[in-house]
Structure 1
Amino acid sequence: CPRDTRISSLIFPILYTLLFITGLILNSLAAWAFFQIPSTSTFIVYLKNTLVSDFILTLMLPLKILTDSGLAPWQYRALVCRFSAVIFYETMYISIVLLGLIAFDRFLKIVRPFGKFWVQNVTFAKVFSGCVWLFFFGLSLPNMILSNKQATPLSVKKCASLKSPFGLKWHEAVNYICQFIFWTVFILMLLFYVVITKQVYKSYIKTQRKDSKIKKRAKGKVFIIVAVFFMCFAPFHFSRIPYTLSQIGNKIDCNIQNQLFLAKESTLWLATTNICMDPLIYILLCRPFVEKAFCVKLRKFRSTTQEN
């Protein structure tokens, strides 16, 4: 089934180039700032891991831009299918899990501001973050190894054509696992924010002092996490299942396959904007980051949404 790449080879390379430049600048600044901030809380640990994930994803974009635009030789397309695209998706799902962990951390801070649970231990956060990286590496490695069919100018047009029969089955299984992970995080985040919304509303009603307005705004900023999550990742996951099914089956009309491909590419670009949206979380919720990145000293106040 020939793939219609007229749109994907003209428009998306430009959009991804803009993302790459913006993401590289923002994440380089974030890396410089976080390098100076000690990992004294679970919140900082999760933010640092998110930054690493975003930075790796950003570095995968140039090869995608060159191959999608047709500027690179077809052999580079095989490299994208076997390695960089796999790393691209791996880091994207790591970011999804880490955003869920950040939301959970903020949930605990707002609901139990004076409590201290074992999941809020810095050592736990470091170990758990490491386990997340290892888990997704374990899922991704077979996708690299099992894309072992001989690459030709024709076969590299669809990455699925490079996979062995077992590789296609593994790809399908990984897709369902990743879908399960996303929707689990999605549902948990909804539950967290229902409770957070109630807490913020109660605080707004009960507290009428003038100086409390700053704290109210600080609590309201926590909603940036759920906004970034839904805007970036939800559309892609609505379109990914039918697209993957079209890749592993042989009974779908070529027209529909091309439409699904275009929908997947459009929502994938939207998901990639996460590398530029995550810095908003650092700026709005992490006071030490703002102080280091912009060389300013912010007024200190007790807040459940900001980390000292």
Structure 2
Amino acid sequence: MDLRNTTYISIQANCTVDTSYRFTYYKISYSMIFIFGVISNATALRRFCRIPRMFTSTAVYMANLAAADIFFVISLPLRIYYYHKAAAISNRTNDWSPGSAFCQLTFTLKYISLYGGIFFLVCIGVDRYFAVVHPLHQHLRKVRTARMLSVGIWCLVLALSLTLPLLYSAASRWHKSCLLDPSSKRDSTIILTALGLVQIAYLLPALLLLFSYCSILRVLRSLPHRRKIRHRRTLTVIYWVLVVFFLCFTPYHLNLLGYTLTQVGLVRSCGLAQVTKVLHPIMLSLASTNCCLNPLIYYFSSSLVHKETAGSRGSASQ
């Protein structure tokens, strides 16, 4: 996609929308996310690292979630640089091509953070599910089990993160869109395949997280008030996981669905095409803010991990 021709996107002959703001918006939003992401992650991880060395399954998932955040934070300067250059090209003040290696690396780091964040947030929710709903199944919450599951998730995330850029690259080979989503009807099969993978990678974790949350609430509702108080930390962690998950990822995936279907011509709605195109940069930035909000989960879960660690030591000494 020629950057000089993307100020107006046409779905139909009489359906255009001005998206020239996106380069400046991306530069500002990603700069803010980078600053707050570095500060919040450093502060929260400092608190989290004060926990005794004896890890729990929750701590394992939190450490992996932090790693996914770090991948995205370190990719932000690359994205800011790209959009700075892209803005110059759109204003006809420069002629610059980032190169395929730059595009692949930046795109891959984005998906590692996005879906690494999704999967490890769900792991935290499911971990709380077994802690509350099935407390006798503690073998499923062993540190070794959590580490093995984390390795499997990283393999899945890396496979997805490498596959999606390759699919987009195949769909973009004629117009060199790099970080801009391709919209060619000629390559609609490839684009829809990538869309299907993205939506499945969001919907299945979302359903699993909702199931875990509803099951936890059902169990806690039946407990005496005194025992409910003991699970306040668990509820706090679950609430923050739900807020981060659905606030950051749901608007992005819903907008991406409408955006892609109108771009490839499967849905012919000028209004939907205009709205989703204008909202796309905003929703992408909103999804990216998960690396700033996740430290809140580290903060609130640190006391929970400390309590579980103390409990494990107490049990071991008996």
TM class by shorter chain equals 0.7 to 0.9
Shift of 1:140: 3.0
| Equivalent residue for 1:242, pick from 258, 262, 282 | 258
The aligned counterpart of 2:37 is 23
CA distance in 2, matches of 1:41, 1:157: 38
Which residue of structure 2 aligns with residue 176 of structure 1? 196
Residues 159 and 180 of structure 1: is their aligned pair in 2 closer, same or farther, counting only changes over 3 Å? closer
Aligned ranges 1:1-308 → 2 under 5 Å: 2-3=8-9, 4-32=18-46, 38=53, 40-69=55-84, 70=87, 74-76=96-98, 81-113=103-135, 115-145=136-166, 147=169, 158-160=180-182, 169-203=189-223, 206-207=224-225, 215=230, 217-222=232-237, 223-249=239-265, 257=273, 259-287=275-303
For residues 145 and 267 of structure 1, do their structure 2 counterparts lie closer, same or farther at Cα, with a shift above 3 Å needed? closer
- Tell me the CA shift for residue 88 of structure 1: 0.1
CA deviation after TM superposition for structure 1 residue 54, in Å: 0.5
Contact 2:41–2:295 under 8 Å retained in 1? yes
CA-based RMSD: 3.5
Alpha-carbon contact 1:30-1:51 (below 8 Å) kept: no
Going from structure 1 to structure 2, the CA distance change for 1:62 and 1:257 (only over 3 Å counts) comes to farther
Q: Do the aligned partners of residues 207 and 253 (structure 1) sit closer, same or farther apart at CA in structure 2, a change above 3 Å counting?
A: closer
TM-score by length of 2: 0.75
Structure 2 vs 1, CA of residues 219 and 83 (structure 1 numbering), >3 Å: closer, same or farther? closer
Question: How has the CA–CA distance of structure 1 residues 271 and 156 changed in structure 2, closer, same or farther, with 3 Å as cutoff?
Answer: closer
Partner Cα distance (1:24, 1:240) in 2? 27
User: Would you say the 8 A contact 1:19–1:276 is kept in 2?
Assistant: yes
Contact in 2 for aligned 1:53/1:91 (Cα 8 Å): yes
Q: CA deviation at 1:260?
A: 2.2
CA distance in 1, matches of 2:228, 2:152: 39
Structure number with the bigger relative contact order (C-alpha 8 A, sep ≥ 6) is 2
Judged with a 3 Å threshold, the aligned counterparts in structure 2 of structure 1 residues 157 and 276 are, in CA distance, closer, same or farther, namely: closer
Q: Deviations over 1:30-81 (max 9, x none)?
A: 4555566536221111111100001101111122223324269632386654
Query: Judging changes above 3 Å, is the alpha-carbon distance between structure 1 residues 198 and 255 closer, same or farther for their aligned structure 2 residues?
Result: closer
Q: How many residues align?
A: 286
- Aligned letter for 2:220? V
Q: How far, CA to CA, are the matches of 2:132 and 2:266 in structure 1?
A: 50
SS in 2 for 1:74: coil
The aligned residue for residue 15 of structure 2 is: none
5+ residue gaps, structure 2, are: 1-5, 10-17, 90-94, 313-318
The one-letter amino acid paired with 1:274 is N
Query: Does the 8 A contact of 1:60 with 1:88 survive in 2?
Result: yes
Q: Does structure 2 conserve the Cα–Cα contact (< 8 Å) formed by 1:110 and 1:199? A: yes
Shift, 1:95, TM fit:
1.0
Distance in 1 of aligned mates of 2:163 and 2:57: 31
The normalised TM-score by structure 1 is 0.77
The letter for the 1-side match of 2:287 is A
User: Partner of 2:316 in structure 1?
Assistant: none
CA distance in 1, matches of 2:232, 2:163: 46
How many Å apart are 1:278 and its aligned residue? 0.7
1:170-218 Cα offsets, whole Å, 9 max, x none, are 4532321221121111112112111222233333xx235xxx7853532
